[in-house]
Structure 1
Amino acid sequence: IKEHTPGIENAIISVHCHDDLGLANANSLAAIETGARQVECTVNGLGERAGNVGIEEVVMSLKTRHDYFHDLQVNIDTKQFTKLSKLVSRLTGVAVPPNKAIVGSNAFAHESGIHQHGMMSNPETYEIMTPESVGAEKTNIVLGKHSGRHAFEDHLKNLGFHQTFTEEKINELFAKFKDLADKKKHVYDDDIIALVVEHMDHKKAFELVSQHYQLGEKGYAYADVRLNTPDGERADAAVGDGPVDASLKAVERVVGMPISLKDYQIRAITAGKDALGEATLKVEYNGRIFHGRGISTDIVKSSVNAYINAVNSIFLAMELEQQEEE
Structure 2
Amino acid sequence: MERRIKIFDTTLRDGEQTPGVCLDMAEKLEIARSLARLRVDVIEAGFPIASKGDFEGVSQIAAQIKGPVIAGLARAGKKDIETAAQALAKAERKRIHTFIATSDIHMEYKLKMSRQQVLETAEEAVRFAKTFTDDVEFSAEDASRSDWAFLCQVYGRAIAAGATVLNVPDTVGYTTPAEFGALIRHLKENVPGIDGVDISVHCHNDLGLAVANTLAAMENGATQLECTINGLGERAGNAALEELIMAFYTRKDYYKAVTNIDTKQIYRASRLVSTLTGIAVQANKAVVGDNAFAHESGIHQHGVLNNALTYEIISPEVIGVSRNSIVLGKHSGRHAFEERLKQMDYNLESETINLLFAKFKDLADRKKVVFDRDIEALVADKPQVRPEWYRLVYHQVVSGSQSTATATVRLETSNGEVEQASCGDGPVDAMFKAIEKAVGFGVELKDYQLKAVTAGEDALGEAAVWIEAGGEVFLGRGLSTDVIEASARAFVAAINKRLATHGYPETQQAAEGV
**TM, length-normalised to structure 2:** 0.58
CA 1:280–1:139 in structure 2 vs 1: closer, same or farther (change >3 Å)?
farther
2:498 alignment partner, SS class: helix
* Cα deviation code 1:86-139 (max 9, x no counterpart): 111111111100000000010111212332333345433332221221122224
Matches within 5 A, 1:44-63: 44-63=230-249
The amino acid of 1:182's aligned partner reads D
Give the whole-Å Cα distance in 2 for the aligned partners of 1:65 and 1:194.
32
Worse overlay, 85-94 or 117-126: 117-126
Answer yes or no: is the 8 Å Cα contact 2:274–2:281 preserved in 1: yes
Answer yes or no: is the 8 Å Cα contact 2:278–2:475 preserved in 1: yes
Alpha-carbon distance, 1:50 to partner: 0.7
Answer yes or no: is the 8 Å Cα contact 2:325–2:373 preserved in 1: no
The amino acid of 1:265's aligned partner reads Q
In the other structure, the counterpart of 2:502 is 318
Give the whole-Å Cα distance in 1 for the aligned partners of 2:389 and 2:239.
36
Task: Name stretches of at least 5 consecutive residues in structure 2 with no aligned partner.
Answer: 1-186, 504-514
The reply on whether 1:241 has 2:425 as its aligned counterpart is yes
Give the whole-Å Cα distance in 2 for the aligned partners of 1:242 and 1:302.
15
Alpha-carbon distance, 1:252 to partner: 2.1
1:39 alignment partner, SS class: strand
In the other structure, the counterpart of 1:189 is 372
Answer yes or no: is the 8 Å Cα contact 2:329–2:369 preserved in 1: yes
Task: Name stretches of at least 5 consecutive residues in structure 1 with no aligned partner.
Answer: 320-326
The reply on whether 1:200 has 2:386 as its aligned counterpart is no
Q: Say what the alpha-carbon RMSD is for the aligned residues.
A: 2.0
Give the whole-Å Cα distance in 2 for the aligned partners of 1:206 and 1:253.
13
The reply on whether 1:129 has 2:317 as its aligned counterpart is no
In the other structure, the counterpart of 2:437 is 253
1:161 alignment partner, SS class: coil
Give the whole-Å Cα distance in 1 for the aligned partners of 2:430 and 2:324.
36
CA 1:19–1:228 in structure 2 vs 1: closer, same or farther (change >3 Å)?
same
Give the whole-Å Cα distance in 1 for the aligned partners of 2:208 and 2:301.
29
* Correspondence for 1:283 among 450, 458, 467: 467
CA 1:240–1:13 in structure 2 vs 1: closer, same or farther (change >3 Å)?
same
* Correspondence for 1:10 among 193, 196, 217: 196
- Bigger radius of gyration, 1 or 2? 2
Give the whole-Å Cα distance in 1 for the aligned partners of 2:349 and 2:413.
27
**TM, length-normalised to structure 1:** 0.90
Percent of residue pairs identical: 55
Give the whole-Å Cα distance in 2 for the aligned partners of 1:75 and 1:239.
55
Aligned length: 316
Worse overlay, 253-262 or 43-52: 253-262
Worse overlay, 211-220 or 80-89: 211-220
The reply on whether 1:34 has 2:220 as its aligned counterpart is yes
* Cα deviation code 1:184-241 (max 9, x no counterpart): 1111112122222223332123321222222367242111222234665433221112
Answer yes or no: is the 8 Å Cα contact 1:258–1:285 preserved in 2: no
* Cα deviation code 1:256-299 (max 9, x no counterpart): 44432222221211122111111123222233322221110110
CA 1:261–1:40 in structure 2 vs 1: closer, same or farther (change >3 Å)?
same
* Correspondence for 1:301 among 480, 485, 506: 485
The reply on whether 1:224 has 2:388 as its aligned counterpart is no
Answer yes or no: is the 8 Å Cα contact 1:224–1:250 preserved in 2: yes
In the other structure, the counterpart of 1:102 is 287
In the other structure, the counterpart of 2:448 is 264
The amino acid of 1:270's aligned partner reads T
